[in-house]
């Protein structure tokens, strides 16, 4: 009689016929479901510590700098004024042959005496003329009988020198810009005539650096007392007017 061979696998020794074999854990090992996951690594606080240390160092350095600055500024502030840089050259002493400009800023030239020079500007840009009244002949002598004053009148000849010190040509009729004023405020215009005391200064063309000299003639009553002589460039249409005080 043959014997039925038992199961070779020890795990089937306790199996009953007709039942599925049951697997058992080896002796000494507890049942489990696999190895548990390792704990998560702890976050390092090193970056935060470094940031805190850096901020503290900056605050400490700033505080020290503020203390040093306050200590350095403990003395009163001293403000030093510096002279402004000049944009124009300072005027130098004018040579004796160069007349001074008697025109005050923004106004008319001041009255001057006979023999003085007044610098006048014209309408044209760059036109500037030095005007000098060299002498005044209160009773000028007619050169001929055809050009003589009316009865009861006399000729007054004002000798004038015109020097072009500007950049433009001075083209003018000087006698048109001349006025003679008496002590009563009456004004006299120039007239045409010829006198022995000088050449009539009717029309001129003066280039820069050049000059002209002549007389401007007036006819006034013999009893008139002269007070002043006025002159303007451009036949009297220029803005500036020179004035010379006369004394008889």
* Residue 91 clears pLDDT 50, i.e. is over it: no
Fold designation for 112-245:
Immunoglobulin-like (2.60.40)
* pLDDT tens per residue, range 26-51: 444 444 444 555 555 555 566 666 67
pLDDT-wise least confident of 11-15, 51-55, 170-174: 11-15
pLDDT at 3: 46
pLDDT at 147: 87
Query: Greater confidence, 7 or 242?
Result: 242
The residue extents of the domains of the chain are 112-245
pLDDT-wise least confident of 99-108, 156-165, 179-188, 199-208: 99-108
SS (H, E, C) the chain: CCCCCCCCCHHHCCCCCCCCCCCCCCCCCCCCCCCCCCCCCCCCCHHHHHHHHHHHHHHHHHHHHHHHHHHHCCCCCCCCCCCCCCCCCCCCCCCCCCCCCCCCCCCCCCCEECCCEEEEECCCCCCEEEEEEEEEEEEECECECCECCCCCEEEEEEEEEEEECCCCCEEECHHHHEEEEECCCCEEEECCCCECCECECCCEEECCCCEEEEEEEEEEECCCCEEEEEECCHHHCCCCCEEEECCC
Tell me the pLDDT band of 95, cut-offs 50, 70 and 90.
very low
pLDDT-wise least confident of 72-81, 128-137, 196-205, 208-217: 72-81
* pLDDT tens per residue, range 140-149: 999 998 889 9
pLDDT at 52: 75
User: pLDDT over 90 for what percent of the chain?
Assistant: 53
* Residue 78 clears pLDDT 70, i.e. is over it: no
* pLDDT tens per residue, range 118-139: 999 999 999 999 999 999 999 9
């Amino acid at each position: 009689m043959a014997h039925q061979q038992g199961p070779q696998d020890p795990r089937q020794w306790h199996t009953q016929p007709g039942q599925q074999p049951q697997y058992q854990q080896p002796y000494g090992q507890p049942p489990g479901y696999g190895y548990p996951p390792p704990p998560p690594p702890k976050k390092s606080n090193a970056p935060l510590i470094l940031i805190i240390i850096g901020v503290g160092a900056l605050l400490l350095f700033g505080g020290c700098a503020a203390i040093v600055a306050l200590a350095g500024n403990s003395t009163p502030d001293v403000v030093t004024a510096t002279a402004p840089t000049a944009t124009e050259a300072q005027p130098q002493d004018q040579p004796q042959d160069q007349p001074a400009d008697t025109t005050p800023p923004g106004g008319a030239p001041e009255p001057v005496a006979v023999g003085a020079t007044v610098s006048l500007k014209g309408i044209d840009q760059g036109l500037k003329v030095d005007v000098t009244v060299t002498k005044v002949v209160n009773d000028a002598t007619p050169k001929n009988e055809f050009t003589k004053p009316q009865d009861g009148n006399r000729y007054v000849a004002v000798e004038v020198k015109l020097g072009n010190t500007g950049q433009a040509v001075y083209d003018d009729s000087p006698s048109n810009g001349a006025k003679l004023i008496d002590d009563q405020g009456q004004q006299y215009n120039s007239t045409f005539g010829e006198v022995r005391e000088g050449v009539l200064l009717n029309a001129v063309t003066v280039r820069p650096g050049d000059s002209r000299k002549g007389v401007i003639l007036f006819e006034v009553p013999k009893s008139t007392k002269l007070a002043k002589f006025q002159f303007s460039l451009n036949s009297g249409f220029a803005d500036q007017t020179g004035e010379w005080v006369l004394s008889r």
